[in-house]
Amino acid sequence: MKLLMIDDDSAQIARLGAEIGNEWPQTDVVRYSPSKRGPLPKGFLAQGFSAVLLCEAWPGGDGLDWLYDLVARPGFAPVIFVVDRVDGPAGLAARDAGAFAVFGTQRFNEDRLIKAVTEAAALQRQSLATWHKSLAALDAQNFAGAHLRRYRRIEHLAKGSVSDLFLAESEAAGSLVVLKVTRAVRKDSGVDQSMQRFLQEFEIVKDVRHANVVRIYDLGITDDHLYIVMEYFARGDLRKRMSQGLTTRECLLYARDLALALQAIHRAGILHRDLKPGNVMLRDDGSVALIDFGLAKAQALELEITDSGLIFGTPHYMSPEQGHGKPIDERSDLYSLGVILYEMVAGSKPYDADNPMAILYCHAKSPIPRLPADRAAVQPVVDALLAKSAADRPASGAAAASLIEVVLESLPDAAHVA
């Protein structure tokens, strides 16, 4: 039994969860805070849940509006609408809207709750079993030629030279995920290099557990295809967030969390080598997560993908040593973090030019630009991270995070809105 509970009332969630837990001790009750996380993503059908319990209202939200949306999604899990009074206006409207059942909390009846959940779960099992046998399921489980029964395709996000990217729903996880799929190509000389990169990306991050690093759920092979299943970020990337404007404090908080993420991957022997706003994603709770390890280098792996002297990455965010094909270490990623921090605070990149080589030259030779006067408090951190010589930069992500913390603590209260 797995239930999705959409509610902001902690006491009510605890009471409902306790009654359900008494009946089914192994039940997994997943709370979804509508006021904090916003609407459920389009395309999400809660197929990984036995039923959905949706509350009547919360601060700034109306459960009935959500109910109309959810029951209009073909294949959405049965919705049990939780109201104060079953015979009140909201309860009657919920029945008309198509709720599977309406449960009243004013006259709390444990048997009615258990009965509603039991019947909803039975219907969901039957509906899923029928769907899995349909032609629609056969089509929805096709990911660029790979048939993945545990996932339902929602959208083809991107097609690259090596892999395809899909938005999908995972029944096992009960959430939307991103699927990265590539053909398992082999050459006479062995495994294709693009396939090696694909496998290395999984090997690099599968054992890293950090709040600010993307979660990798699964790696598999089927129908001559390899696939990686990873976390989905409905709020998009940091560049999108930057376009909306950031306070000085927000810039520093994002930079600090990224520094700690770098500390985690560096401790695991990983260099990212392509840190940029497009590779930093935002979760529903506003926290950031580092993604895309396709160009990363794991020092502990025997497989060496790139040759010495070759330049990989994005010129605007490259350290002087990376841009000139020289050996790099953790401090190169910290330089890229400095570029991101400058861009967040100033609203523009520190260096720009007509062509990539000119940009790389600026990183190596041009003075570190100055921030606007009203944000000059951040300049010491930018200077440290953008030092031309790696020896002059912080020695680690943890050291960079400490520098940022010092500035955060020195900001006056007005900086919250500056």
Q: What is the pLDDT of residues 207-244, one digit of tens each?
A: 788 899 988 888 888 878 888 898 999 889 999 999 99
161-to-31, 129, 147, 195, 310 alpha-carbon distances in Å: 39, 36, 20, 11, 19
**Which residue range(s) make up the domain with 344?**
238-416
Whether residue 92 sits in one domain with residue 32 = yes
The CA angle 245-250-254, to the nearest 5 degrees, is 110
CA distance 164 to 179: 8
Whether residue 351 sits in one domain with residue 215 = no
Segment 313-341 shows an average pLDDT of: 92
**pLDDT winner (highest mean) among 16-25, 106-115, 281-290, 376-385:** 376-385
Whether residue 402 sits in one domain with residue 362 = yes
Active site residue 274: yes
Instruction: Report the pLDDT value the prediction gives residue 300, as an integer from 0 to 100.
Output: 41
- Tell me if residue 356 falls in helix, strand or coil: helix
- What is the reported pTM? 0.81
Sheet with strand 101-104: strands edge to edge: 28-32, 2-6, 51-55, 79-83, 101-104
Q: Which is more confident, 60 or 117?
A: 117
Strand partners, 175: 170
Q: How far is CA 68 from the centre of its chain?
A: 27
Last-in-domain residue among 72, 102, 132: 132
Whether residue 356 sits in one domain with residue 247 = yes
Strands of 259-336, DSSP E: 270-271, 280-282, 288-290, 297-298
Q: Which of 257, 274, 292, 333 is catalytic?
A: 274
Whether residue 18 sits in one domain with residue 72 = yes
Nearest CA to 155 out of 173, 164, 168, 172 is that of 168
To which H or E segment does residue 182 belong? Answer: strand 175-183
pLDDT band at 199 (very low <50, low <70, confident <90, very high): low
Segment 152-168 shows an average pLDDT of: 89
Domain CATH number, residue 217: 3.30.200.20
- Tell me if residue 345 falls in helix, strand or coil: helix
Last-in-domain residue among 115, 132, 149: 132
> pLDDT tens for residues 304-326?
334 344 445 588 999 999 988 89
Q: What are phi and psi of 74, to 5 degrees?
A: -60, 125
**Torsion on CA atoms 66, 35, 340, 359, rounded to nearest 10:** 20
Whether residue 350 sits in one domain with residue 257 = yes
Instruction: Report the pLDDT value the prediction gives residue 160, as an integer from 0 to 100.
Output: 79
